[in-house]
Structure 1
Amino acid sequence: MRIITVQATLRPDHLERFVAASVANARASVATEPGCRRFDLFHDDADPARVGFNEIYDDDDAVDAHGSSAHFETWLSATDGMLDQTVWATCRSLYTASPESGGPSSTGGIRVYQARISLQPDDADGFIASVTEQARAAAAREQGLVRFDISQNVDLPTEIWLYKVHADAAAARGHAAARYTAAHLDRYGDYYSDGGLEPISGPSIWPPDAGW
């Protein structure tokens, strides 16, 4: 499995057109590419011009197939000049958590959190173990959890990407207040506030809530 994680900042006044082009690309990718499992698009509450992608493919060949597709070429052409800054990585999956109850029970608007964590080498194993423990606890206890994915940059093992999806804002707040979240942050909270790349935290754009 390969995960493509992207955080981008748009130039002014491009959000509506960028979203339209990106949703068309996402829809075509899922519908026509056998190796594309998911293609999620979301943006930040504090700055809607910051957008994120979380794409899941079967393997490197599926990533290459996406990159050579007609709809991706159309997206590249349609969004040319719209991006001010882009950070992305090709990742492998370390852990994926989903609720044991079979799905979220609350509604009111999917909420997404995506963060890039750049670790010191000596902390990498401990951080991964700690955040995996947090993800397992969340999956077992949070009915509002949709996904909790932990991924690792294939070219830079000390770069970890976290992708959390909750059924609504109340579920996201409950996760933030949980004791296992606090336990993880007690050990590694500095990595979340070290002045690096800010996480994206905000609403899902695509797929629609019913598609989760």
Structure 2
Amino acid sequence: MYILMVRLKVKADRVEDFIKASIGDAKGSVLNEPGCRRFDIVQAADDPTSFAFTEVYNDEAAFAAHGEMPHFKVWQEAVGDMFDGEVGVSFCKPVFPRGDGNWDSYRAHIVDDPYFASSLHVIHAPKFVKEEHLDAFIESVSKDGVGSTHEEQGCLRFDVYQNVNDPTELYLYEVYANPDAFEYHKGTPHIKQWVEDVKDMYDTSRDGGARVGRNVWPPDNWAWSSGKPTW
């Protein structure tokens, strides 16, 4: 898999225009590109101008093909003057799950109704780890991922990605059924063990960039669950 973790801010008066244009690109990508497995859009709860994309492609060639698609070019033209600051992009590989997770967001015969639009709780968060602790961090967070997806009914996915250009940057991509499910997650034994294990592994000179909030697209009733992956 070749995964893009995108972080951006939009001018306050262009938020709705940006959402409309980005849903068009995301939907066009997932429905028309055989190499695009997901294109999730997240809006931060604490700052409606902050967004994140999680784009999952089969490989780098599939991502390159995405850049030639008409829907991408329409999006690129539409949003050119909407950004507030630079767009951050991390090119990543999955470290959890590594093979047996469910990646595709599309489901056939979905009920298309506004009720299902946007009630999930999504975490799109970079973690910066000291180089000497990378292997231990990945092992610990992968165990937490197994615990979260296997033991919590409200945890739909707990993916961990590693920046291919900067291995000390790892991304947590967590999807919960609702905010209460995330509160439940914070009390579980596996998260408490993980927090204890990794507390001294972070590079505290680097921080920031997380988005936590609702799913703008796809809707709740698409395939958000990674299943019960192992590590």
Q: TM-score, normalised by structure 1?
A: 0.90
Give aligned pairs, total: 205
5+ residue gaps, structure 1, are 100-106
Give the distance between the partners of 1:185 and 1:148, measured in 2 at CA: 15
- Deviation for aligned residue 1:193: 7.3
| Displacement after TM superposition at 1:197 (Å) | 1.3
Residue 44 in 1 paired to residue 19 in 2? Answer: no
Gaps of 5+ in 2: 103-115, 224-231
CA distance in 2, matches of 1:148, 1:192: 22
Whole-angstrom distance in 2 between the partners of 1:17 and 1:91: 28
Partner of 1:104: none
**Aligned residue identity for 1:179:** P
- Relative to structure 1, the CA distance from residue 18 to residue 180 in structure 2 (aligned partners, 3 Å threshold; closer, same or farther) is same
Q: CA deviation at 1:71?
A: 0.8
- From 176, 183, 188, give the equivalent of 2:193: 183
Paired AA for residue 57 in structure 2? Y
Q: In 1, Cα distance between the equivalents of 2:207 and 2:10?
A: 19
Other structure's SS at 2:81 match: coil
Distance in 2 (CA, whole Å) between partners of 1:118 and 1:83 is 25
- Find the aligned partners of 2:190 and 2:216 in 1 and give their Cα distance: 29
Give yes or no for the alignment of 1:144 onto 2:145. no
Alignment of 1:37-186 (within 5 A): 37-85=37-85, 86-96=87-97, 109-186=119-196
> How well do the aligned residues superpose, as a CA RMSD in angstroms?
2.0
Percent sequence identity over aligned pairs: 33
Which residue number in structure 1 is paired with residue 211 of structure 2?
200
Q: In the superposition, relative to structure 1, how do residues 36 and 185 fare at CA in structure 2: closer, same or farther (>3 Å)?
A: same
1:110-162 alpha-carbon deviations (Å, 9 max, x no partner): 11001111211111111111100100111110111111111111111111111
User: Displacement, 1:15?
Assistant: 0.8
Contact 1:98 1:146 in 2 (8 A): no
Residue 211 (structure 1) aligned with residue 212 (structure 2) = no
Determine the C-alpha separation between the residues in 2 that align with 1:178 and 1:199: 22
Q: TM-score, normalised by structure 2?
A: 0.83
Residue identity opposite 2:216 in structure 1: I
SS in 2 for 1:127: helix
In the alignment, which residue of structure 1 is the partner of 2:22?
Answer: 22
- For the residues of structure 2 that align with 1:31 and 1:198, how far apart are their CA atoms? 29
What letter corresponds to residue 143 of structure 2 in structure 1?
A: E
In the TM superposition, residue 12 of structure 1 has moved relative to its aligned partner by 2.3
